[in-house]
Amino acid sequence: MRRSRFDGQVVLVTGAGSGMGRAFSYGFAEEGAAVACIDLNYDSAKATVAEIETKGCEALAVEFDVRQAGQVEKGIGTVLKQYGKIDILVNNAGVVIRESLLRTTEEDWDRVVDTNLKGTFFVTKAVIPNMMREKHGKVVNISSIAGISALTATAYDASKAGILAMTRHWAMQFAAYHINVNAVAPGFIATPISDALRKTSVGKTIDSRIPLGYGEVSSIVPTVLFLSSSESDYITGQCIAVDGGLTCCHDMGPEFRGFDRPDMD
């Protein structure tokens, strides 16, 4: 297996048991990192680790709920005991509940905001002291294009916008320690979470409005790895949208895109 950019480094990925988190974990492992795979579902985290180990790479499964500060601190302690450091943190754990404002319950709000926003806060707060002592580190927060423009639902959009605000603040606060903090904003990605939506008429309409169509999980991995590598040492406080062009324009549909086509006269 090819090893390069992350030889000797330790990466912690939350939500590593499925979807993008699992793909990120595989990507780091393929380039030499030891990966701490964090998930609320321990069996899912173990499955990610098992796949990494079959390829001759090193990984550790750790179970904790990012919404619970005590569990987070204990889990980070387990990783530090195993590896002695955490060079890279990818805050990926998240949930989405698609409801209108009037149908969003307090329980819905708490579940989404506590997981996506508070969870990112808790995990980063637990990891960052180690990076400060080492005077280096990379933090990549997984936001969403829903944090850039109104798109999904009140709680989800608010949580993802909050992640972008924290990203900018932390980039400023920890620059003196050579810690880079950036965000990635995925667009509509084909994952188990979006499977039901993609099969509906609304999902098909969304697909038609994305210049490059729905993305694959593999579409996000290179950007996360780039922001975690030395190649991005002079980038901090930024958000890169990986969205197939959805946020680059007010897209009125495929028939309006090809202005130079003969049938568009």
Q: Which residues pair with 180 in a beta bridge?
A: 138
Looking at residues 228-257, what average pLDDT do you find? 84
Q: How confident is the model at residue 264 (pLDDT cuts 50, 70, 90)?
A: very low
Q: Is the pLDDT of residue 253 over 70?
A: no
Choose the most confident range, by mean pLDDT, from 150-154, 196-200, 233-237.
233-237
3-state SS, one letter per residue, for 64-111: CCCCCHHHHHHHHHHHHHHHCCCCEEEECCCCCCCCCCCCCCHHHHHH
Alpha-carbon torsion angle 199, 202, 206, 208, nearest 10 = 80
- pLDDT tens for residues 124-159? 999 999 999 999 999 999 999 989 987 778 999 999
Q: Which of 26, 83, 156, 234 is catalytic?
A: 156
Q: Give 165's Cβ-side CA count (13 Å radius).
A: 10
Band the pLDDT of 261: cuts 50, 70, 90: very low
Measure CA 162 to chain center. 14
Q: Identify the band that residue 198 occupies on the pLDDT scale cut at 50, 70 and 90.
A: confident
List, as own/partner pairs, every contact residues 102-106 make where C-beta atoms lie below 8 angstroms and the sequence separation is at least 24, other chains included: 104/153, 104/154, 104/155
% of the chain with per-residue pLDDT over 90? 76
Report, as an integer, the average pLDDT of 48-57: 96
pLDDT at position 254, please?
57
pTM for the structure as a whole: 0.91
Measured in degrees and rounded to the nearest 5, phi and psi for residue 104 equal: -80, 120
The residue ranking higher by pLDDT, 35 or 191, is 35
- Domains (ranges, CATH) in the chain? 10-194+215-248 (3.40.50.720)
Check if 156 is active-site. yes
Tokens coding 49: 């680790």
Stretch among 71-80, 85-94, 104-113, 209-218 having the lowest mean pLDDT:
209-218
Q: How far apart are CA 48 and CA 42, in angstroms?
A: 10
Residue 233: partners with Cβ closer than 8 Å, 6 or more residues away: 180
> Mean pLDDT for the chain?
91
Angle at the Cα of 264 from the Cα atoms of 263 and 265, rounded to 5 degrees: 95
Q: What is the DSSP string of the chain?
A: ----TTTT-EEEEETTTSHHHHHHHHHHHHTT-EEEEEESSHHHHHHHHHHHHHTT--EEEEE--TT-HHHHHHHHHHHHHHHS---EEEE---------TTT--HHHHHHHHIIIIIHHHHHHHHHHHHHHHHT-EEEEEE--GGGTSS-S-HHHHHHHHHHHHHHHHHHHHHGGGTEEEEEEEE-SEESGGGHHHHTSHHHHHHHHHSTT-SEEGGGTHHHHHHHHSGGGTT--S-EEEESTTGGGS----GGGT-TTSGGG-
Q: What is the pLDDT of residue 200?
A: 82
pLDDT at 181: 98
Residue 233 has pLDDT above 60, yes or no: yes
Q: Which residues pair with 11 in a beta bridge?
A: 35, 88
Entry field: residues in the chain: 265
